[in-house]
Structure 1
Amino acid sequence: MKLLRFGPKGQEKPGLLDADGNVRDLSGVLVDITPQTLSPQGLVALRALDPATLPVVKSPGRLGVPFTGLGKFLAVGLNYSDHAAEAGLDAPSEPVLFTKWENCLNGPNDPVVLPKNAVKGDWEVELGFVIGKTARYVPIEDALDYVAGYCLVNDVSEREYQIERGGTWDKGKGFDTFGPVGPWLVTTDEIGDPQQLGLWLDVNGVRRQTGHTSKMIFSVAYLVHYMSQFATLKPGDLVTTGTPPGVGLGQKPPVFLKPGDVMHLGIDGLGEQTQEVRAYDTRWLD
């Protein structure tokens, strides 16, 4: 299933994308797509529905983040060997973990707003996965059983804040709009092996990133296993798994985002996103 939410910000309705590419309205069945919806029991109930019995949404308009009720937004750095190399860093021996704050969540095609005085805004196309049941000390051989589905994420970053201003990476990762997610949450039965997905990103029509999840240093299964040693993962937790080479910081010379730039990105089977970059203005945030 491809689950989604459509409508104005703060007024989204639940839906799904049927086999013919039509958006079907789930609001007669669900109040919203929540962590409970993404539990094994919740997904079994949704799979029992016949999409043809649900109303077609002829003009869905804006798409929001494809689920609500997020608990943690966790992220993995330097998880592609070729990206670590472009950053001039050794491949990590254990996953590099950081957080993106909940306020950064953004619809897949909503504008990305640069912070005041930002000078090094950057892009990162990434595979995200969402937890479907409580995970604690999970054996690696069982790890994918804890994943409800996969989604496309743009891990937008401000490199000066991330790298040059001390402390952890988090301050360069969590600004409002820095976490576009969607267009859909695709359940695991439609994806199969998450380590066999191509991903790409263009800026202003120029291909900047081309990658493949087979190049991830730490697989989705390993990340679920590893993270569950340090924190209890719960339904609705989102993990974004790192980016392939081609980020702005890695260009020669570096290229950073400016107002008016357009990012277009996608992952096999998970859809595409498009974001226009805008200067700081609260009307794009509220």
Structure 2
Amino acid sequence: MAERYREPALAERATLAARFSNDPLLLEEAVRRWHQLDPQAEAPLRLLAGIALQRGNWVLALEKRLQLVEQGGHGELALFTELALDAQVDPIPLYERLSRHLAGPEAVRHPHYHDTALAMAILEAALGMRERAEARLEALSRDHAELPALWMTRARLALEANDPARARDAARRGLAISPGDPRFLLLLAQSELELGNVAAAERHTDALLDEHLGNDELRISLARLYLEEGQLDAARRLLLPLISGDQTPSSAFFLLGAIAEQEEEVDNALLYYRQVSQEATSCAPACGRRAC
């Protein structure tokens, strides 16, 4: 009926029906027809962006979001950019497309320009353009200090610049805006560790673990963070609760062995290493690094 009568309302109903069909091709066809019949509608553009993400086409997803922005909508580009980087997407094509958008005369007059500028700062930071990112974030902080992602990016940039005091300040600002956000707690722990404040770092990691009870991977990752800074006792305190259960992760035994080895406790090191499964030994060369 939508095809015959060329009515957007019918195309919208067809899309709703297609969403319950478990047929992705049918859904895409319905969404595309809806978008063709009503190019200014926000919902089909968001759906097309979501379909592109499901297929791993982040550049096309960004294109659809930018179409939404160019029509006056909110593309949520900062959140999109963070998701892309978390998924280890190559930031260069996203940066190039966003640059072309920001070069347009209308970009700065958009009501959500701050979101686009923040997305660009996140990409610049990821690409090592630290000075550009800092300048953009400084300008944003004057009028949009309420954005958690702004302080997240500033904290990460400060850590990369070996300025843990500034990173701590930025993370504190972010945590005040977004209480309990685990990302800010982790950034605070990292900055306190680099400042040598182990007790303060442990308070933040304890709060993080309280928010994620039973998350063994998080506990192990935090232990590695302490190991990177040479805080063996703190790393051990994080790992020891893991070996009291029946299913201890092999990486916990391996890291405890590495700690004992660094402390020249050879017998204890061998005891822990003997309990490491075959699969975990491939992690051995990277022990103590974030890649491990």
Which TM-score applies when normalising by structure 1?
Answer: 0.21
Which TM-score applies when normalising by structure 2?
Answer: 0.20
Larger helix share, 1 or 2: 2
Larger strand share, 1 or 2: 1
Rg comparison, structure with higher value? 2
Q: RCO (CA 8 Å, sep 6+): is it higher in 1 or 2?
A: 1
